Structures are given as C-alpha cells and as structure tokens.
Amino acid sequence: MAFAAFATTTSDADQAPRRKSPVALLLLLPGILYLVLFFLTPLVSLLLTSFQTPIEGGDIGQYAYAFRWENYVEVVTAYLPHILRSFAFALTATVLALIFSYPLAYFIGVTARRWPLVQSLMLVLVIAPFFISFLLRTLAWKQILSDESFIITSLKAVALMAPDAHFTGTSAAVIFGLTYNFIPFMTLPLYTTLERLDTRYLEAGSDLYAHPVEVFRKVTIPLSMPGIVAGTLLTFIPAAGDYVNASRDFLGGPDSQMIGNVIEANFLVLQNYPAAAALSIILMTVILVIVMVYVKRAGTEELL
Amino acid sequence: MSTGAFAAQGADLELVGIQKRFPGFTAIEHLDLKIPAGSFFALLGPSGCGKTTTLRLVAGLEAPTAGRILIGGTDVTDQKSFQRPVNTVFQSYALFPHMTVLENVAFGLRRRRIDEPVAKAHEALRLVELDHLAARKPQQLSGGQQQRVALARAIVNRPALLLLDEPLGALDLKLRRQMQLELKAIQEEVGLTFLHVTHDQEEAMTMADTVAVMNKGRIEQMGAPEELYELPKTAFVANFLGQSNLFTGPVVGSTRDAISVGVAGHNIVVPAARAHRHIGEVTIGIRPEKLSLHLSAPADDAARNTLGPGRVIDVSFSGVSTQYLIDVPHLGNLVVFAQNMGFGPVADEHAEVWVSWAIEHGFGLEDEPGDTPKFESDTTTRSIAAQRRASLVTELEEI
C-alpha cells in the first residue's frame, strides 16, 4: 500500500510470527472506530453529495439525492485548467522543496553528526515556523512580497523587475508560498532517513572507484529513497489540495487559482455542493493514483 | 587508477614515515613498512593499536598527518580513495543493500568502464561459489555468504593491493577456518598483494607469509610467522603471539655461544645468538610447549635448563594437550603445555614437579626489563577473542 512509505524500517523478515489475539483486536478498536466515524462516514457522505441534483424550483443550495453523474463531466469541463494548474503547482513546489531540503537534511543528518548540538539546533530551526500559524506566516509573506515592500522596490530599482510588474498574485508567488510552507514536511522525513545513513556504504563506493558524484547518485540517493518518497508525498498531497497560498487574500491572483480555491468557492460562496463534492472526489482519486504509481515506480518497498 | 584495464599483478606497498593524529590522540606514531608485491601480509595487534587506521590510510579513506604512501612505486598520498588501485573487504562487508549480489560485484567494474562487467562479476562469484545466488539481495544471505560476496566484489577488480579489515571477525569458527583456507588459495591463484588486518594471532599465522605485530601505533616486530613465534623480540610479541614464560634477572656469565642469567637462585642459559641483550638485567623466555615436566628431579644435563621443584596448582585438560600451571618458589607461575601422549594428565594438582627445556629453545628479549607483565591482562582483544572462540566451540559441539 502506498502509505507503507511512512512506515519505519523494520522489514517483515525480522518480525516475529503473528498470532491472532483478542487483545490486538481490542487495541485496534479505538482506531477503527475513529476511522469509521471521521473518515469513512464523511467520505460516503461526500460521494453521495457529488451525485446530488438541484431540487426543482428549490432555493439555491437545496439538493436532493440522485445519481447525477453529469456533475463530474460538468466540473471537469469547467475547471480542467484549475485541476491541471493545481498538480503543476504542487509538482513544482515539491521539486523545489526537495532541492532545498536535501542539502539541508544531509547537512543536519550526516555532516553535523560530529556536533550533536548543531544538529539539534538546526532541527529546532526547521521546526520553528510551526510555532507561528500557517496563515500568519503566509500573510507575512504577502507583506514582504507586496509591491511597496523593500524587496520588490529594490528589485525594481535595479531593473531586475519591470516598474509595473507585481509579484503577489502571480503563479510564481503561489509556488513560492507552497514551497516555503512545505519545506519542513520535506526536510524532516529526509533527515530521519539520512540520519541513519551508514557512511560505510559511501566509503565502500569510493573504494570501488566511484567518483563522489557517482557515489551520491548510485549509493546515497537510492539509500535515502524512503525519505525522498515520504517527503515528496507529505509535500505533494497537501500542496495539490491547498487553498490558502493560492487564495486572493494571500499570495494568489485570478490567474493562479487552484482546485482547492474552486472547491472552497463552490462550497462556501456558490453553495454548489455537488460540484464541490465531485471536485473533491476527483482530487482524491487523482492523488491516490499518482501516489500509487509513484510508490510502485520508486520501488521503496524493499528498502523499508 | 587506469580506466578500462586491470592491474597486471599485485604491486608492492611502501609506507614512509607515516604518522596519523586524531584530535586528542595519536593513532600511529611513526610507521615505516614495505610489503613486497604478491605477498600475503598480516598486520596483527590488539584493538586500538592503529592497524585499522593504517588500512584506512592505504585505502585513502583517511589522510596521514605526515608521511608518504607508495603503491607500486607511485606516490598515492594525495590521491582520493576512488583513484587508488586498491580495494577493501570491509569488516562490516558494507554490501550495498539496494543492489543484488551481482550488481554489488559489478559495481567497481562499471565505475571503471571495464568490458563485460556482468560476465566478469559472474566469474568472480563462481570463484567464491556463490554464482547461484547472484540475483539475491545481500540481506538474504548468511554472514559467511556476505563475506564471500564482499571478497568477490573486491577481487573482481584485480586491485594491485587488496586490503582485508578483519573480514573473518563475524564468522563462526568452522566457517572461519574454511574461509581462511579459501582466502589463501585465492591469493595464490590471483597473485595479488594482500594486506590483512586482524587481532587473531592464529589467523595471521596460518594465512600470512609475513606478520607485523603492532602495538600502540608502532610495529613491534615483523617477520615470518615461525620466526616471530620462535624468537620474539619484545614481551608484547612474546605474549600476544601465543604464550610465554618470562623471567627477569642479571646476566651472571657469558661465553661466546651463550649467556647465563641468574633467576631466583637458578642459572638459566640462553644461546647468545637468540638473546638481544647480553649484559645487565635481561628478560628471557621460553614457550610453554617447549617445557618438559618431570615428577622427580632430573639428572644434570648441560644441554638443558632445569627449574624446580615446584607445585602444580592447576591442571586443565583440553583433549590434545594438558595445560599445567606450576608455582615455582620465588619465580611465580609457569605454564606448561604437554601433549597427551598417554592417557590423561601425567601430574595431579599439588604434585611436586620439575621442569626442564633444551637450552636452544630459550630466547632473550630486547625490552628493558621492568613493568612488563608476564601475562597480558584479561581485557586484551586476544583474550576476548579467545573467550569468544571457546564459547563458539562449545556452541558448535552442542549442535
């Protein structure tokens, strides 16, 4: 299953043979109840809503249960650009976050092993943004990147930006926000894998005539695959459905709306619940398919 | 490193004035060493003596603080590990867990763009009789098999110099014996230079042409195993390589052929050629298996040294031989190994005995007599290894 990527490193081989025990079932019960109540029920409700049809002559926002599959066709034709944009933004942000996080995680997990104090200090710094609300931080960036801000006026002064150009409201600003907000989710799983990386494998690679670049490509990257998979999933999945960064109140503009914003608008403003539900189901399905293909292709099951 | 070609044969290794300091301690004081091409050289010493550091310096995984490293006459001191014509069999094997056995073995060949890496990897796996497991992952192999894969992964590259870092340490006694023989056979077959680092004296002696005993970052003595064993130069070598009975006393007389040492009222004669010091206080020694045990005072014999009477304080029977611990007044305890030619031990505990040995078997040490203990304390690597081996033997017998 896809989420095995989040599991720890114990392989099946080391585990003791399992016995069926009533105690184990009893211990599982709260979790199962929780999932049925808070995951399965809303999911079924969402699925049913997505096929609802407007009540004839009813008010806005009044729908009856039906099997109106045309809802799906309609939302896809209406919002295909948003769907594609969402995945493109999420993908770009994930790749950027990986590029920024990998060296950082490598430094904390491998290079800084000799100085545990530096290690813990840097980890605290990675987690530190969580002490401030996600919304506040994104709003702060809106200020920092606004047209009147120091950064933008300076860039305009040195003619790196056109005088009438904006940064907030563009696709770049949304991708920037997504990357920034999800870097800790990328760095932490990468750190946990790299922290356990046995550097003797790197020495063995070097001993076997591999240039440092080759050692990185052939040994370090494959051995840190569990962290890469976990980090990219933790970034990509929430980023694809994110509706804060792309919101017009934050970093987004009319041309950088993501599917999350559309769902939000349909649910809260237009009160078109079936359309919002259908979009949510589509989003979930597409993410699930992408994740399953990805995990299969990454071949990390054997490493876990 | 030459790309696309193998080293024709083993190369000699030369270490010139090597020193390695780490923050806080010195791993290697000063090391000069020359290992001729095609030889099987063992670096023997307790843990922490600097032998693994020496190996890592040769492999290029550490840089020396001072000194030069030459392989086949070429100075490689400034080369990185991937540029050196050297391969290592690591103590932990360090087989890549994300690759199959075959890909592990082919790794070095691919990096050097050697033709037909897969065919050559199969060939190397056949040499260690593991070709049938080529498609497995390393974790699916036993310790002994992993060790052989690690060996195949190194020798497939035909390095000028093969470094072995206690590769047999994790194996049980039976497999260890078998691997020792296989390793020796492979070395003779491929004609590479092997540098083997170990704390197991038995392993070093059975496998190597030349053994260097290392202690506290220096080489104490170097030579053929028989030479080191029969004529140790220092108390450390005398006790690290097998056991020795050591006595200290002043030289009381000397002729051209022999010196005579006064030890607790006895005169012990040692051949002058086998003694490193001829005047003053000296330490002399004799190996326990060279001693003969007598139940009555032996007749005077000019060709033999005699000590006694003493009392047997411990008898331990180990099948082929019996080890007696004898307390000789003013001399301390003597160890005697006697072959069990008859049935069982010849002397019981508390028996009064004499010991004697042929004069030509004694040796005189180079050390300043002093605080060197007669026997190593029980926390040395060797005794720990011996204890582990003993427990393994009993384990094997139980199976």
Contact A266, A120 (CB under 8 A): no
For chain B, give the percent of residues with pLDDT over 70. 90
Instruction: Please report the pLDDT score of residue B374 as a whole number.
Output: 43
Query: Cα–Cα distances in Å, from B275 out to B59, B227, B246, B358?
Result: 38, 14, 13, 15
B192 and B292 inside one domain: no
Instruction: Please report the pLDDT score of residue B312 as a whole number.
Output: 92
What's the rounded mean pLDDT across residues B81-87?
Answer: 92
Instruction: Please report the pLDDT score of residue B371 as a whole number.
Output: 52
For residue B29, pLDDT beyond 90: no
- The model's pLDDT over B143-202, given as tens digits with 9 standing for 90+, comes to 888 988 998 999 899 888 999 988 877 677 777 787 788 788 878 877 888 999 988 888
Instruction: Please report the pLDDT score of residue A9 as a whole number.
Output: 42
From chain B residues 109-128, the ones with a CB under 8 A of any chain A CB are: 111-112
> What's the one-letter identity of residue B204?
A
Q: Single out the residue of B13, B84, B50 nearest to residue A203, CA to CA.
A: B84
pTM recorded for the entire structure: 0.79
For chain B, give the percent of residues with pLDDT over 90. 38
Distance between CA B273 and CA B296 in Å, rounded? 31
Q: Report yes or no on B93 lying in a domain.
A: yes
Tell me the domain boundaries of chain A: 20-48, 81-298
B19 and B134 inside one domain: yes
Q: Report yes or no on B394 lying in a domain.
A: no
For residue B106, what are its two tokens?
Answer: 């082919």
Q: Single out the residue of A286, A193, A275 nearest to residue A231, CA to CA.
A: A193
Min Cα separation B380/chain A (Å): 26
Distance between CA B286 and CA B268 in Å, rounded? 11
Min Cα separation A202/chain B (Å): 9
**Which CATH number among 1.10.10.10, 1.10.287.70, 3.40.50.300, 1.10.3720.10 corresponds to the domain A81-298?**
1.10.3720.10
Instruction: Please report the pLDDT score of residue A7 as a whole number.
Output: 43
Parallel, antiparallel or unpaired: strands B304-317 and B321-328:
antiparallel
Instruction: Please report the pLDDT score of residue A4 as a whole number.
Output: 44
Min Cα separation B224/chain A (Å): 29
What's the rounded mean pLDDT across residues A19-41?
Answer: 89
For residue A1, pLDDT beyond 60: no
CATH number at residue B307: 2.40.50.100
B359 and B280 inside one domain: yes
Q: Which domain holds residue B273?
A: 243-366
What is the count of residue pairs from A and B with beta carbons less than 8 Å apart? 67
> Among the listed ranges A8-22, B61-75, B90-104, which one has the minimum average pLDDT value?
A8-22
Ranges A8-22, A33-47, B3-17, most confident: A33-47
Contact B157, B112 (CB under 8 A): yes
For chain A, give the percent of residues with pLDDT over 90. 70
What's the rounded mean pLDDT across residues B272-284?
Answer: 88
B46 and B188 inside one domain: yes
Buried b or exposed e, range A37-61, using 16+ CB within 10 angstroms: eeeeeeeeebeebbbbebeeeeeee
Parallel, antiparallel or unpaired: strands B161-165 and B86-89:
parallel
Distance between CA A75 and CA A283 in Å, rounded? 12
- The model's pLDDT over A66-113, given as tens digits with 9 standing for 90+, comes to 899 999 999 999 999 999 999 999 999 999 999 999 999 999 999 999
Report CB contact under 8 Å: B94, A214.
no
Total tally of structural domains belonging to chain B: 2
What's the rounded mean pLDDT across residues A247-257?
Answer: 91
Give Cβ neighbours of residue A226 (< 8 Å, ≥ 6 apart).
A5, A9, A189, A193, A300, A303, A304
Give Cβ neighbours of residue B126 (< 8 Å, ≥ 6 apart).
none
Distance between CA B20 and CA B288 in Å, rounded? 37
For residue B370, what are its two tokens?
Answer: 């002093």
Instruction: Please report the pLDDT score of residue A98 as a whole number.
Output: 97
Min Cα separation A200/chain B (Å): 6
Q: Smallest Cβ distance to B94: which of A204, A209, A212?
A: A204
Q: Smallest Cβ distance to A204: which of B1, B90, B139?
A: B90
Query: Cα–Cα distances in Å, from B310 out to B268, B285, B324, B345, B349?
Result: 16, 18, 11, 17, 11
Instruction: Please report the pLDDT score of residue A66 as a whole number.
Output: 87
Q: Report yes or no on B343 lying in a domain.
A: yes
Report CB contact under 8 Å: A203, B61.
yes
Q: Report yes or no on B167 lying in a domain.
A: yes
From chain A residues 193-212, the ones with a CB under 8 A of any chain B CB are: 198, 200-201, 203-212
B254 and B316 inside one domain: yes
- Is B139 in the A-facing interface, judged by CB distances under 8 Å? yes
Q: Smallest Cβ distance to A208: which of B80, B97, B111?
A: B111
Q: What is the 3-state secondary structure (H, E, C) of chain B?
A: CCCCCCCCCCCCEEEEEEEEEECCEEEEEEEEEEECCCCEEEEECCCCCCHHHHHHHHHCCCCCCEEEEEECCEECCCCCHHHCCEEEECCCCCCCCCCCHHHHHHHHHHHCCCCCHHHHHHHHHHHCCCHHHCCCCHHHCCHHHHHHHHHHHHHCCCCCEEEEECCCCCCCHHHHHHHHHHHHHHHHHHCCEEEEEECCHHHHHHHCCEEEEEECCEEEEEECHHHHHHCCCCHHHHHHCCCCEEEEEEEEEECCCEEEEEECCEEEEEEHHHECCCCCEEEEEECHHHCEEECCCCCCCCCEEEEEEEEEEEEEECCCEEEEEEEECCCEEEEEEEECCCCCCCCCCCCEEEEEEEHHHCEECCCCCCCCCCCCCCCCHHHHHHHHHHHHHHHHHHC
For residue B376, pLDDT beyond 50: no
B136 and B274 inside one domain: no
Contact B39, B33 (CB under 8 A): no
B141 and B277 inside one domain: no
Say how many Å lie between the first and final Cα of chain A, rounded. 12
Instruction: Respond yes or no on whether ipTM tops 0.85.
Output: no
Q: Report yes or no on B238 lying in a domain.
A: no
Distance between CA A64 and CA A68 in Å, rounded? 10
B202 and B249 inside one domain: no
Domain boundary among B161, B194, B226: B226
Q: Report yes or no on B7 lying in a domain.
A: no
B129 and B21 inside one domain: yes
Q: Report yes or no on B378 lying in a domain.
A: no
Is residue B227 classed exposed, middle or buried when 0-12, 13-18 and 19+ CB atoms within 10 A define those classes? Answer: middle
B140 and B270 inside one domain: no
Residues of A whose CB is below 8 A from B88:
204, 207
Average pLDDT over chain A, rounded to an integer: 89
Instruction: Please indicate whether residue B212 or residue B367 has the higher confidence score (pLDDT).
Output: B212
CATH number at residue B156: 3.40.50.300
- The model's pLDDT over B98-140, given as tens digits with 9 standing for 90+, comes to 999 999 999 999 999 999 999 999 998 988 888 999 999 999 9
B63 and B190 inside one domain: yes
Q: What is the 3-state secondary structure (H, E, C) of chain A?
A: CHHHHHCCCCCHHHCCCCCCCHHHHHHHHHHHHHHHHHHHHHHHHHHHHHCCEECCCCCCCCEECCCCCHHHHHHHHHHHHHHHHHHHHHHHHHHHHHHHHHHHHHHHHCHHHHCHHHHHHHHHHHHHHHHCCHHHHHHHHHHHCCCCCHHHHHHHHCCCCCCCCCCCCCHHHHHHHHHHHHHHHHHHHHHHHHHCCCHHHHHHHHHCCCCHHHHHHHHHHHHCHHHHHHHHHHHHHHHHHCCCCCCCCCCCCHHHCCHHHHHHHHHHHCCCHHHHHHHHHHHHHHHHHHHHHHHHHHCCCCCC
Q: Smallest Cβ distance to B111: which of A200, A201, A209?
A: A209
Residues of A whose CB is below 8 A from B95:
204
Residues of B whose CB is below 8 A from A196:
none
Distance between CA B109 and CA B397 in Å, rounded? 42
> What's the one-letter identity of residue B197?
V
Q: Report yes or no on B268 lying in a domain.
A: yes
For residue A123, pLDDT beyond 90: yes
- The model's pLDDT over A155-176, given as tens digits with 9 standing for 90+, comes to 888 988 888 888 888 999 999 9
What's the rounded mean pLDDT across residues A232-251?
Answer: 93
